[in-house]
Structure 1
């Protein structure tokens, strides 16, 4: 902020203050030419002042909907006791993290984005970056544990699952440890201690020291909390997909053997091959005599195994779970990517009065997009838990062409002269036309048609 004209300020001894702090204070005091400006009151950023109302509205809408949808998701999991499955226990941890983002992190971040001067005190100056990053790190670590647990389950269905509660506590403790170095790079200066003027009482500056060490730390945070977890999650999901393909083939062999169960003990007169388990075992023995480790012997052994043991994994259910979990994680990774790259680039770029507006608008957009998964995750979960019939019925509500056809056929009159009952909703427009034709053909010859 710019000092009023014809007034001078006496500075106390500031030998203990680093020179870069006084450069920032000088820019702050000379930034705005306003004699009546009171630095003890929140001063909005000039670059965002015209769009502040719209920014507050979209951020508020995101926060309110995020809290409401995640609480409904939490209640749904508790009501139907889905938490007994470790997968849903990890989702509960993610719900807690998302609620913290919407209730605590998002309002404070919005305040810092819109207000030029620092009014939150020394404590929040030190701990606000930690509070902002902890839920983000918890979300990524939760997804790592979730994908790891699913891979272990699909590979060894009989082994015990990962302890969800222990992994949850570990994700929060690990996230806290990762952000502990933040206070080293943050400095809070109370200008009232150095400027002999009552108008500066309680006026402070909160700055981040972008030194070489800070750059290395931010690069390490990017790799450890974003790039590394995404690589691990991708690896576990690829392995899980392979295991699902293996179980799917095994289930197909088991189903084929069950459908041919009655024909195993019979031999067709026109066939030279008897489909019995004994023949499979004898053929496996013949192959083992020729080559103990031949491919055919292993194939016959696997076929015999899955004819006698039912598959231990519900392939259809696990494929559905794999699809929706992959969607949730992908949305989170894509939405968070611009913000993480911007934070990494911010260390290398310098903000000046000429480009400050570009930085402000970019941060406002990227932060909003970064918090968008708090609203998307409950929607994907709803689609996940919704039955197929409910989905088809919901899709039918949005098919305008079907509505027109339905209205054209809903008043069908019978030959007795009484109106027929209202037609049920038909998912396919082709099938709806067939129903109309059948009804018209049924009342042909009647004077009411």
Structure 2
């Protein structure tokens, strides 16, 4: 029946909204506790099922075999009575299960984009330090592969002493923050692409109802 086809659509819309809310929490307020995955799944499916409950009251089954004897035996058709109350219900479905969730999702993604852009601008002056750390780690990896004798000079430039250098530690922290920022931006782009593709593909179906 038609309501069975709409449940996955509502679940997907709510899932995108919850994913944007979780990303917003992780980026802007990481100290707050994470959303429960089981709880979110339960809520999305319950809301999706509640939304489609009125469908059976406006749907009737027509047995084509009784109308066309001998030609359509065992064939039926589900029809929807588009009464005034049904039209109001469909408008509510369009607003509260499509427009409103995707609008909130877009607002959350926009705030995340602004925050990541601000962090990128703050980290730009320190990218030279990041490059120095990468080159230093590459040099250490090469020294570990090549055989060398244990001398005073090698002892002074050992990775252990380098790790104890406060400036090197600060540069390594900068490098790790830069990598985390890159990962956050990549995940953000994936979620924005998914939400945009879903909205574009579902918009004609929702508008033609």
Fold match (TM-score > 0.5)? yes
Question: Would the aligned equivalents of 1:189 and 1:206 in 2 still touch at CA under 8 Å?
Answer: yes
Is residue 2:108 matched to residue 1:236?
yes
Instruction: Point out the structure with max Rg over C-alpha.
Output: 1
| Structure with greater helix share of residues | 2
Return the match for 2:80 from 208, 211, 219.
208
Please give the residue correspondences for 1:349-368 in structure 2 after superposition, counting only pairs within 5 Å: none
SS in 1 for 2:98: helix
Q: 1:215 to 1:244 in 2, by over 3 A?
A: same
How many aligned positions are there? Answer: 168
Which position in structure 1 is the counterpart of 2:164?
A: none
Instruction: Specify the alignment match of 2:15 in structure 1.
Output: 142
In structure 2, relative to structure 1, the CA distance for the partners of 1:154 and 1:177 (3 Å cut) is same
**Distance (Å, rounded) in 1 between the aligned partners of 2:27 and 2:179:** 7
For residues 324 and 129 of structure 1, what CA distance do their matches in structure 2 show?
31
- 2:21 touches 2:108 (CA, 8 Å); kept in 1? yes
Aligned to 1:156: 29
Structure 1, residues 213-237: CA drift from partner, whole Å, max 9, x if none?
1111111111111111110111001
Per the alignment, do residues 203 and 324 of structure 1 end up closer, same or farther by CA in structure 2, a change over 3 Å counting?
closer
Structure 2 Cα separation of the partners of residues 191 and 215 of structure 1: 26
1:222 aligns to 2:88 (yes or no): no
Q: Which among 324, 327, 332 is matched to residue 193 of structure 2?
A: 327
Partners of 2:70 and 2:193 lie apart in 1 by: 56
CA contact (8 A) 1:157 1:312 kept: no
- Report the CA distance between 1:254 and its aligned residue: 5.6
User: Cα–Cα, structure 1 residues 184 and 313, in superposed 2: closer, same or farther, change >3 Å?
Assistant: farther
- Structure 2 residue 118 is matched with structure 1 residue 246: yes
TM-score by length of 2: 0.68
Matched with 1:355 is none
Taking a change above 3 Å as real, the CA distance of residues 212 and 252 of structure 1, as seen in their structure-2 partners, is same
- Report the Cα distance in structure 1 between the residues aligned to 2:187 and 2:30, rounded to whole angstroms: 15
SS in 2 for 1:160: coil
The answer to whether the 8 Å contact 1:157/1:313 transfers is no
CA distance in 1, matches of 2:53, 2:208: 21
The offset of 1:198, in angstroms, is 7.2
**Contiguous gaps of at least 5 residues in structure 2:** 132-169
Partner of 2:55: 182
What is the Cα deviation at residue 330 of structure 1? 1.0
Tell me: higher relative CO, structure 1 or 2? Use CA pairs within 8 A at least 6 residues apart.
Answer: 2
Alignment gaps of 5+ in structure 1? 1-127, 260-305, 344-449
- The answer as to whether partners of 2:123 and 2:178 remain within 8 angstroms in 1 is no
Q: For residue 341 of structure 1, report the CA deviation from its aligned partner.
A: 1.1
Secondary structure, aligned partner of 1:207: strand
SS of residue in 1 equivalent to 2:61: strand
Q: What's the secondary structure of 2:208's corresponding residue? A: helix
